[in-house]
């Protein structure tokens, strides 16, 4: 029963997230690029989107302090990693490079699926390829280390 | 303050609400790149995949409510679009998060890793977009 409720909750969260992306203008890459490009007519709207999203989520984490477990599950599953390593920096820079080229990050790329725009679908294909190449590379690398 | 900025604040608040609700109800981080990787792996895809289904349903609901489709303009050429998609896919996995996981949730919980990640992808994104603009303007 709780498993079904978790799935429904996740679906509703996805819808709210998506409407937020559309209302905030993040779904449209040309808005994102007008923020990332500082040499043209700079558009600060993204600061308001990110700022309010961070603020509301901050309040969410504040509420979480009162809970011993999430409402629909037994435990919280939150990363406790603290190490700042080369992967974090290299990966984030590579992500930024891709983000700056087209103006799409994973959320909008997935959310725009049913708009059926050929270029956004092509980006989504690239996103899936990049994600799978990483998983494959990782498993090959782990096997290599094991058999060496 | 113009209407656009109120829309930005409302849009951001909805994103924050979704991340907070996922945290408080399901106890998990609504990081889109991580959920995509989990779904593609085919193992333990629920409830993460349901969030992605909700994400793709958003524009349909928007169309039902407003009668118009959300606007989306991609100016980058085809090849660049595909390559940048690959960079974003590989980079977000290597760096363990994207604009949602590190950007929204990481900053909200003041995670040092996420602060570094945001500086990196925002810096690289701004540098790339600015350089591309300067090189391609006519």
Q: Which of B7, B10, B12 to probe the A interface (max A CBs under 10 A)?
A: B12
Residue of B25, B3, B59, B26 whose CA lies nearest to A107: B59
Q: How far is CA A100 from the centre of its chain?
A: 15
The Cα–Cα gap between A41 and A38 comes to 7
The Cα–Cα gap between A5 and A133 comes to 33
Can you tell me the mean pLDDT for B58-84?
A: 96
Q: Which pLDDT tens digit goes with each residue over B66-75? A: 999 999 999 9
Can you tell me the mean pLDDT for A93-116?
A: 97
Look at residue A145 and tell me whether its pLDDT is greater than 80.
Answer: no
Phi, psi of A77 (to 5 degrees): -115, 90
The answer for B 74-113 residues in CB contact with A (under 8 A) is 74-76, 78, 80-100, 102-105, 107-109, 111-113
**Half-sphere exposure for A9 (CA within 13 Å, toward CB):** 23
Upstream peptide bond of B114 is cis (omega within 30 degrees of 0): no
Q: Which of A6, A45, A93, A122 to probe the B interface (max B CBs under 10 A)?
A: A93
What per-residue confidence (pLDDT) applies to A40? 81
Can you tell me the mean pLDDT for B78-106?
A: 97
Look at residue B1 and tell me whether its pLDDT is greater than 60.
Answer: no
Under the banding of pLDDT at 50, 70 and 90, the label for residue A79 is confident
Cβ distance of B122 and A15 shorter than 8 Å = no
Under the banding of pLDDT at 50, 70 and 90, the label for residue B3 is low
What per-residue confidence (pLDDT) applies to A148? 58
Alpha-carbon distances of A113 from A40, A127, B61, B66, rounded to whole Å: 29, 13, 13, 18
Q: Mean pLDDT of all residues in chain B?
A: 95
Residue A143: how many other CB atoms lie within 10 Å: 10
Look at residue B2 and tell me whether its pLDDT is greater than 70.
Answer: no
> What percent of chain A clears pLDDT 90, i.e. is strictly above it?
84
The sign of the dihedral angle between the CA atoms of B23, A129, A134, B38 is positive
Q: Which pLDDT tens digit goes with each residue over B104-130? A: 999 999 999 999 999 999 999 999 999
Write down the ipTM of this complex: 0.96
Phi, psi of A4 (to 5 degrees): -65, -45
């Amino acid at each position: 029963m709780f498993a079904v409720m978790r799935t429904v909750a996740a679906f509703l969260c996805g819808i709210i997230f998506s409407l937020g992306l559309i209302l905030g203008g993040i779904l449209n890459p040309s808005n994102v690029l007008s923020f990332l490009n500082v040499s043209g007519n700079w558009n600060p709207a993204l600061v308001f989107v990110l700022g309010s999203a961070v603020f509301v989520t901050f309040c969410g984490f504040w509420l979480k302090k009162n809970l011993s477990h999430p409402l629909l599950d037994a435990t919280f599953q939150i990363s406790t990693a603290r190490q700042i390593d080369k992967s974090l920096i290299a990966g984030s820079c590579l992500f930024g490079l891709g983000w700056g080229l087209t103006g799409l990050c994973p959320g909008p790329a997935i959310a725009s699926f049913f708009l059926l725009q050929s270029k956004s679908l092509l980006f989504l294909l690239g996103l899936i390829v990049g994600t799978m190449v990483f998983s494959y590379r990782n498993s090959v690398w782990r096997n290599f280390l094991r058999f060496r | 303050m113009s209407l656009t900025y109120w829309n930005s604040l409302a849009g951001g608040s909805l994103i924050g609400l979704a991340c907070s609700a996922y945290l408080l109800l399901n106890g998990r981080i609504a990081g889109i790149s991580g959920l995509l990787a989990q779904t593609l792996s085919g193992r333990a895809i629920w409830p993460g995949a349901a969030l992605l289904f909700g994400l793709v349903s958003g524009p349909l609901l928007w169309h039902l409510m407003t009668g118009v489709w959300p606007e989306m303009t991609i100016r980058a050429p085809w090849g660049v679009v595909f390559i940048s998609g690959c960079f974003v896919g590989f980079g977000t996995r290597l760096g363990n998060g994207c604009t949602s996981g590190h950007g929204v949730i990481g900053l909200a919980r003041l995670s040092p890793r996420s602060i570094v990640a945001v500086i990196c992808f925002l810096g690289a994104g701004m540098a790339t977009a600015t350089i591309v603009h300067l090189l391609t303007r006519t």
